[in-house]
């Protein structure tokens, strides 16, 4: 297999090495958890034990110290080679870690003394981050879960979906809307502990793939949130500046496991070709034109995914670095999001093609449940639904930026 994408930093190299080690463990039990629909909690414990859970926490706070989106995403692609389901959950944790670490670093650079307690809790295995942005029947920009102002904070009521890795998360960031009078709303994110009174995990995830991801619905029954646990609001219907800031990174990180799945599938198919003759003649399968053609298409497609991913990640990191310790302005984030979304589309749609072609190369054996290819085929299709934009919305966003139209409609 052509080299996967290499990390760019020392911390990245350490984190990727850990990710590859864990991925091998993930792979060993992935089918079993997939079949049972169980969440592999043992992996979370292993990540705590190895320190990988703190991959994005600064070294000063005891973490691995990865600070670029590029290397975070590369590690996530490696995790994805082992098991897509746990990896998509880890995306949530690491993205939140990255956001917090970036804020902590910015605070230090600005001479402030930022609070690193949550990051330290991650290092100590006390905190795992979860994300509750999605809702069935809506999109990230239009949450219906509502935070009603009460004495000292808010009461949150609603139902969030795709609570990926919810059994492991200790703390959720939850997208809500806040009434702004006149029937208008604002949107913000609330930080809510998993054991907050009124937070109910419906444990009802049941889907085509990503079956071990525990992406349950979470019901919020008048959960109390303090004022300080709420992010600054933006107009309802938009991602706004904070949403775009996190979103350009999220788009790529959430695509990363699907590169890993495609890489694992292709490796599986290539190994199969190398080992198998073409029955019953003397010609080895790997000398057979149609198989060579399919292998070549996969190689080209993997090159396409890797290239688009790598370049978009570089652009994202370069933009953040240029404005550090501040944030890129909104218009620049729109441009970056255009690149992130284009890369995400390439990765998700191409990953599906690669796995599909692996099934063809397998000659039927990949269709049986005992082949990991059949799991990859189900898991890989989840990519296109990942936030902040699904495949159809992403194209509209890209076109609007390209055509100088307001990108959020």
Least Å distance between CB 196 and a copy of itself?
26
Piece of 106-114, 187-195, 281-289, 322-330 that binds a copy of itself (CB under 8 A)? 281-289
Instruction: Using CB under 8 A, pick the residue from 149, 197, 232, 290 that binds a copy of itself.
Output: 290
| Token digits of residue 264 | 């694992």
Contact criterion met (CB below 8 Å) for 219 and 203: no
Q: Does 138 participate in binding a copy of itself (rule CB under 8 A)?
A: yes
Alpha-carbon dihedral angle through residues 34, 56, 99, 84, given to the nearest 10 degrees:
-20
Nearer to a copy of itself, 58 or 407 (CB): 407
Least Å from the CB of residue 137 to a copy of itself: 6
Considering only residues 193 to 252 of the shown chain, the ones binding a copy of itself according to CB under 8 A are: 206-209, 237
**303 belongs to the binding site for a copy of itself (CB under 8 A):** yes
8 near a copy of itself, rule: CB under 8 A: no
Please name the helix (run of DSSP H) or strand (run of DSSP E) that holds residue 300, with its range, or none: helix 289-323
Query: Binding to a copy of itself (CB under 8 A): which residues in 49-78?
Result: none
Name the CA radius of gyration of the chain, rounded.
21
Output DSSP code: residue 366. Answer: G
User: Residue from 1, 36, 109, 150 that binds a copy of itself (CB under 8 A)?
Assistant: 1
Q: How far is the CB of 79 from a copy of itself (least distance, A)?
A: 21
With CB under 8 A as the contact rule, the residue among 9, 50, 170, 304 that binds a copy of itself is: 304
Q: Which is nearer to a copy of itself, 104 or 377 (CB)?
A: 377
Return the residue of 151, 195, 227, 404 that touches a copy of itself, per CB under 8 A: 404
Q: Using an 8 Å Cβ cutoff, are 309 and 252 in contact?
A: yes
d(CA 271, CA 181): 62
Q: Count CB-CB contacts under 10 A for residue 66.
A: 30
We find the least distance from the C-beta atom of residue 11 to a copy of itself, in angstroms, to be 20
167 and 160 in contact (C-beta within 8 Å)? no
- Closest by alpha carbon to 162, among 211, 243, 218, 212? 218
* Interstrand relation of 171-179 and 129-132 (parallel, antiparallel or unpaired): parallel
Stretch that binds a copy of itself, among 26-34, 238-246, 257-265, 276-284 (CB under 8 A): 276-284
Residues 6+ apart with CB under 8 A from 75: 7, 12, 15, 16, 18, 19, 55, 66, 94
Which residue lies nearer to a copy of itself by CB, 227 or 370? 370
Omega of the bond prior to 280 within 30 degrees of 0, cis? yes
Asked whether position 381 contacts a copy of itself by CB under 8 A, the answer is yes
Question: Under the criterion CB under 8 A, does residue 282 sit at the interface with a copy of itself?
Answer: no
Decide if residue 99 touches a copy of itself (CB under 8 A).
no
Q: On the CB side of 409, how many CA atoms lie within 13 Å of its CA? A: 10
Q: Is residue 274 at the binding interface for a copy of itself, with CB under 8 A as the rule?
A: yes
Name residue 176's beta-bridge partners.
188
According to the binding rule CB under 8 A, does residue 34 interact with a copy of itself? no
Which of 13, 48, 390, 408 binds a copy of itself (CB under 8 A)? It is 390
β-strands 199-201, 216-226 pairing: antiparallel
Distance, CA of 134 to CA of 70 (rounded, Å): 25
408 binding a copy of itself? (CB under 8 A): no
The footprint of a copy of itself on residues 110-129 (CB under 8 A) is none
Stretch that binds a copy of itself, among 68-76, 102-110, 114-122, 139-147 (CB under 8 A): 139-147
Interacting residues with a copy of itself between 320 and 379 (CB under 8 A): 335, 338-339, 342-343, 345-346, 352, 356, 359-361, 363-365, 367-370, 374, 377-378
What string of DSSP letters covers 39-50?
Answer: --HHHHHHHHHH
For the range 201-205, what are the long-range contacts, defined as Cβ-Cβ under 8 Å and sequence gap of 24 or more?
Answer: 201/163, 201/166, 201/167, 205/37
- Phi, psi dihedral angles at 28 (to 5 degrees): -65, -30
Query: Of the two residues 18 and 269, which places its CB atom closer to a copy of itself in the complex?
Result: 269
**Shortest separation between residue 231's beta carbon and a copy of itself, angstroms:** 21
């Amino acid at each position: 297999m052509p080299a996967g994408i290499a990390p760019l930093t020392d911390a990245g190299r350490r984190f990727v090495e850990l990710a590859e080690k864990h991925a091998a463990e993930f792979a060993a039990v992935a089918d079993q958890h997939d079949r049972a629909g169980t969440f592999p909690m043992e992996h979370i414990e292993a990540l705590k034990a190895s320190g990988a859970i703190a991959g994005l926490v600064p070294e000063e706070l005891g973490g691995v110290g990865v600070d670029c989106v590029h290397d975070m995403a590369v590690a996530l692609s490696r995790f994805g080679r082992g098991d897509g389901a746990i990896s998509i959950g880890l995306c949530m944790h690491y993205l939140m870690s990255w956001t917090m670490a970036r804020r902590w670093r910015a605070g230090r650079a600005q001479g402030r003394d930022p609070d690193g307690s949550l990051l330290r809790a991650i290092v100590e295995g006390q905190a795992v981050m979860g994300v509750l942005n999605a809702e069935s029947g809506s999109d990230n920009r239009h949450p219906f879960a509502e935070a009603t102002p009460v004495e000292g904070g808010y009461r949150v009521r609603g139902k969030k979906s795709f609570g990926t890795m919810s059994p492991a998360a200790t703390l959720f960031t939850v997208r809500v809307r806040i009434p702004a009078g006149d029937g208008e709303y604002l949107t913000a994110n609330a930080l809510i502990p998993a054991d907050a009174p009124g937070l109910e995990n419906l444990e009802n995830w049941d889907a085509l793939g990503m079956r071990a991801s525990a992406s349950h619905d979470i019901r919020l029954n008048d959960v109390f949130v303090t004022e300080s646990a709420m992010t600054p609001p933006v107009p309802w219907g938009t991602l706004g500046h904070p949403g775009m800031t996190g979103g350009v990174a999220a788009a790529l990180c959430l695509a990363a496991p699907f590169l890993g799945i495609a890489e694992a599938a292709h490796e599986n198919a290539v190994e199969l070709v190398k080992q198998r003759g073409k029955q019953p003649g003397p010609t080895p399968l790997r000398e057979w034109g149609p198989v060579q053609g399919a292998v070549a298409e996969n190689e080209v497609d993997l090159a396409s995914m890797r290239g688009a991913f790598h370049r978009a990640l570089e652009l994202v990191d370069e933009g953040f670095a240029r404005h550090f310790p501040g944030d890129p302005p909104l218009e620049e984030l729109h441009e970056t999001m255009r690149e992130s979304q284009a890369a995400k589309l390439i990765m998700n749609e191409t990953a599906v093609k690669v796995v599909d072609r692996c099934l063809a190369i397998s000659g039927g054996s990949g269709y049986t449940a005992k082949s990991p290819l059949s799991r990859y085929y189900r898991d890989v299709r989840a990519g296109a639904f990942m936030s902040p934009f699904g495949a159809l919305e992403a194209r509209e966003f890209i076109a609007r930026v390209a055509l100088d139209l307001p990108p959020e409609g």
